[in-house]
Amino acid sequence: MSFENETLDLQNYQGVAVVDYTDRETSYTRIIEYKHFEIGKQATTIISKEFPTEWEDIPFGRGVA
């Protein structure tokens, strides 16, 4: 996996902590908006987009069947 982090000048981006994307047209598989894990009232929000990578590129799980 690889991650792209963004700080957005929005109070709320997606309304929940995690949204999974399973369609072919979207290049990322998940967006995490951290402030929704707890009640956040900040004027900005931070999100991470999770992108799939090739099996050989993963930094963990080597040797796991």
What mean pLDDT is predicted for residues 10-31? 95
Per-residue tokens: 8: 């957005």
What mean pLDDT is predicted for residues 35-64? 77
56 phi/psi in degrees, rounded to 5: -65, -20
Q: Which has more pLDDT, 40 or 35?
A: 35
Count CB atoms within 10 A of the CB of residue 58: 13
Q: Is residue 32 part of a domain?
A: yes
Count CB atoms within 10 A of the CB of residue 29: 13
Report the number of distinct structural domains present in the chain: 1
Q: Is residue 13 part of a domain?
A: yes
Pairwise CA distance, residues 38 & 16, whole Å:
10
pLDDT at 60 over 80: no
Q: Is residue 64 part of a domain?
A: no
Residue range(s) defining the domain that contains residue 16: 2-55
